[in-house]
Amino acid sequence: MDEVVTNPSFWGLALAIAGAAFACIVAGVGSSVGVGTAGQAGAGVTAEKPELFGKVLILEALPATQGIYGFLVAFLILMFTGLLGGEPINLTLAQGALVGFAGLPVGLAGYYSGAHQGRVSAAGMGIIAKNPGDMGKAMVLSAMVETYAVLGFLISALIVFAIPAIAA
Amino acid sequence: MAVVPMQKIGLLTHKEDKDEILSFLQKLGVLHLADTTIEGATLQAAALSDSIHDLSYKVAELDFAIRFLAPFESKKKGLQAVVDGDTVKCDSEEVAELAKTYKFKSVIEECKKLEEEMVELPNERKSLADLQDKLRPWAHYRPKLSESKQTETSSSVFAVVSIKDWEVLKAEILDLSKLVVLEMDNMLLNKVYIHVVCEKSLVTGVEGLVAQHKGEILELPTLDGTVTEEIQRIDRRFHEIDTRMKELEASSKKIAPELRSLRIVYDHFKWQLAKVEADKRFLETDSTVLISGWAPKKGLSKLKDDLNGVTTSFELMELKPEEGESAPVLLANKSWLKPFEAVTGIYGLPLPHEMDPTPYLAVFFIVFFGLALTDAVYGLLMFAIMFSVLRFIKIPKDSQKMVRLLMYAGLVTFFAGALFGGWASLDASQAPSWMTVTGADGEPAFIGQKINAIKNPMSVLILSFILGYIQVLFGVIINFLHKFRTESKKYAMIDEFPWVFILTVIGLLVMVSAGVLPDFLATPFKYLMYVAVAGIVLTQGREKKNPILKFLSGVLGLYNLVGYLSDVLSYSRLLALGLATSIIGLAVNTIAGMVNGVPYVGVILAIIVLIGGHTFNLGINALGAFIHSGRLQFVEFFTKFLEGGGRAFSPLRRESKFVRLEDQ
């Protein structure tokens, strides 16, 4: 058993890639749901007041950040494990698991935060439809939800930055 | 510098001067009208409703004409035109002149006529097109459509069936009797249009068969000519309609230059409307009127002087506000701070007795923005773009604040980027050699770079916390000072000072344990901490009567420390946002490096990726930096000393939709 865990094998790398995939997929799904929700509400506002399209677009784009954070963590994992350069480093099962777990914080926090930020953005569409001057308020309300994705991303990124130390 | 002190005033004057005084006040824009709740006002409102109705009608009609003509306006090109939009430049005299002489009614009538026809003609075209579609399958039907479709003994049946049922149906119909003749079967797409002539008694039989095969009995429309003639006639009418539409568009284009005047009178009547609606709120007697409202205290004597130029028979009184009535809020700041009012504006205004947070948040906001973006190249770009916008394009005053703010922010971002070595996410080893120096560790680093955020994120995290601590402590201190100065000195000392004290001591303790301050201070600071805790426990239960409850709510008061801690931790987002910028940039650079390997077009692809990617990165992260830096002000900073919710000072003034007055 010990040997399986400590010997460098493709399983280690596979776990790292699984973490990258998880971060990118789950955070991306969260953002897709969020942007979708906000976009539907935004289309309603645009139909009534086409001149607000610019503001609607910005509000719709706010829940998109989670997907970007997920992508970034995935990208960093691929880069630090050498997959981007085509020369993957050797990882033991345990090292791979360490790297792979880096995908969880940004993935899960990104999913829930993205989906819910979308709802707040959608509700914010009502604010700008009634009073375009209150755009800033709608944005801040929506950005409150993003906080937790930011924190998840922060932890994920900090773990990924430790990869060279882990792999050494 | 702060919230402008307001004074409630009453202006008593003769009725005949009312209109002139109102116009004058409107032009000046210094009086925020007070809400009146006096019953007499409703009576007067009824008397005024006629002129309000009249003005609203004019405004609505002008609005219609402007909307109708706007698409026919010849558009100017260029950025400036985009910024100007529909607005027109003119001076007050021109407005007054046009309002008197301009015959806008005839223009409106003309627009109405044009619009009516332009709505009617497409409708006609549509119904004709439907008719033509109906006629087209019967092109082989020779007789005139006006002729009767039956004789004494025979009758015609017109129907349409699906092509796959036709062969069976045809056989069945012809089998019916010898007195049935199939005049025509015209196949079109997957349908067959049939014309059957039969003995009158057989009509029901034929129709029954058609129905059995899911066909549909049709009636040919009663028209003058034959089918072919009618189709041609409709085509000719189409042509006429098209020509007429072009004529109409041409004549609309011809009156489109009237838009300028229309827009000016539109605003003029809007101003009149605002004035009459203001009039509704004033108290009147038979010969006098009392105009009441709020004006900045400072401007009062000047207002008095200026009013003397309009009429001499008036009395300006300083009134006491009614109970529960609060003054409107206007912020006034030095010109370099003005742009930051845009940030305060997002949150809302402070209450009249509170402080204007603008000067306090300015430095923090801009520094946090810079840290959240942290890229010298992006910073320079932002600065350059905003600078040229201000320099070369005339933009409305309100938007100027934001542009100027982003210009400052660009500059700070440049320095923050240089400090952290963020140059479009390049690694120091990839940068041209004149930009880099060899660091102490032998690795190349950018000139001016002090910290490498990717290699050493902890130091940036700690820096974020330090900044957070400073801002939170600053918020608590200004709250204390403000309450100390303006409210009760005693209660400020009891309620607010213990927090200033304990937060300071905690800061000092952390500094000792981090080795910033010498170790021997640890013991005295520890005792100070005990004092601070005791201070909180003893003071925070002040409002409770029961001594046990007093003590308990004092202890519970300590729980607020958790709030302060989470506030400080919230500043970690600065690191995360800064990292996001540099990592997205890194991703863009890496992808550009990959496509660069494509033969022949590689360089072009790489340039496209670089430009598109970095533009996207700048856009999304500048937006993120702005809202998150703003959020740190609103949620972590404002809550320490600000309640907010003040009503904005919105004086009676010439609110323009189109007109940009040059002489104001």
Question: Rounded mean pLDDT of B430-447?
Answer: 78
Beta-carbon count within 10 A of B609 CB: 19
Task: Name the token pair of B85.
Answer: 């939009």
pLDDT of B244 over the 70 cut? yes
**Chain A: closest CA distance from residue B612 (Å):** 16
Burial of B186 per CB tally in 10 Å (0-12, 13-18, 19+): middle
Of the candidates A61, A144, A151, which has its C-beta nearest B631's C-beta? A144
Question: Rounded mean pLDDT of B180-185?
Answer: 80
Of the candidates A62, A84, A150, which has its C-beta nearest B573's C-beta? A150
Question: Rounded mean pLDDT of B445-459?
Answer: 81
d(C-alpha A122, C-alpha B305), whole Å: 52
Strand (E) or helix (H) holding B129: helix B104-135
| pLDDT value, residue A7 | 67
Annotated domain spans of chain B: 150-219, 338-455+573-640, 460-570
Residue A69 touches partner B, C-beta closer than 8 Å: yes
Q: How confident is the model at residue B212 (pLDDT cuts 50, 70, 90)?
A: confident
Q: Are B8 and B323 in contact (CB under 8 A)?
A: no
Residue A57 touches partner B, C-beta closer than 8 Å: no
- Least confident range from A111-125, B454-468, B616-630: namely B454-468
The model's pLDDT over B407-428, given as tens digits with 9 standing for 90+, comes to 999 999 999 999 998 898 888 8
Residue B587 touches partner A, C-beta closer than 8 Å: yes
| pLDDT value, residue B364 | 95
Count the alpha carbons within 13 Å of B133 in the hemisphere toward its beta carbon: 6
The model's pLDDT over B393-402, given as tens digits with 9 standing for 90+, comes to 888 877 888 9
Judge: B579–A144 Cβ closer than 8 Å, yes or no.
no
The model's pLDDT over B39-83, given as tens digits with 9 standing for 90+, comes to 555 556 666 778 888 889 999 999 999 999 988 888 777 777 777
pLDDT of A87 over the 90 cut? no
Q: Are A64 and A31 in contact (CB under 8 A)?
A: yes
Beta-carbon count within 10 A of A44 CB: 15
pLDDT of B38 over the 70 cut? no
Q: How confident is the model at residue B24 (pLDDT cuts 50, 70, 90)?
A: confident
CA A121, A126, A128 angle in degrees (round to 5)?
85
**pTM recorded for the entire structure:** 0.78
Instruction: Report chain A residues whose CB lies below 8 A from the CB of B583.
Output: 72, 75-76, 157
pLDDT of B15 over the 70 cut? yes
In B259-324, the DSSP E strands lie at 283-284, 288-296, 314-318
- What is chain A's mean pLDDT, rounded? 88
Task: Name the token pair of A167.
Answer: 């792999």
Instruction: Report chain B residues whose CB lies below 8 A from the CB of A72.
Output: 580, 583-584, 587
**Chain A: closest CA distance from residue B628 (Å):** 7
Task: Name the token pair of B363.
Answer: 């430095």
List C-alpha distances in Å: B142 to B161, B183, B192: 21, 11, 18
| pLDDT value, residue B242 | 93
**Domains observed in chain A:** 2-167 (1.20.120.610)
Residue B453 touches partner A, C-beta closer than 8 Å: no
Residue A11 touches partner B, C-beta closer than 8 Å: no
Q: Are B351 and B326 in contact (CB under 8 A)?
A: yes
Above pLDDT 90, what percent of chain B? 30
Burial of B500 per CB tally in 10 Å (0-12, 13-18, 19+): middle
Residue B635 touches partner A, C-beta closer than 8 Å: yes
Instruction: Report chain B residues whose CB lies below 8 A from the CB of A69.
Output: 580
d(C-alpha B586, C-alpha B610), whole Å: 10
Dihedrals phi, psi of B166, to nearest 5 degrees: -65, -45
- The domain defined by B150-219 carries CATH number 2.60.40.720: no
State how beta strands B444-446 and B2-3 pair: unpaired
**B458: Cβ–Cβ under 8 A, 6 or more apart, which residues?**
none
3-state secondary structure of B648: strand
Residue B618 touches partner A, C-beta closer than 8 Å: no
Q: How confident is the model at residue B612 (pLDDT cuts 50, 70, 90)?
A: very high
Burial of B243 per CB tally in 10 Å (0-12, 13-18, 19+): exposed
In B77-179, the DSSP E strands lie at 88-90, 154-162
Residue A83 touches partner B, C-beta closer than 8 Å: no
Q: How confident is the model at residue B27 (pLDDT cuts 50, 70, 90)?
A: confident
| pLDDT value, residue A1 | 56
d(C-alpha A31, C-alpha A62), whole Å: 9
| pLDDT value, residue A35 | 94
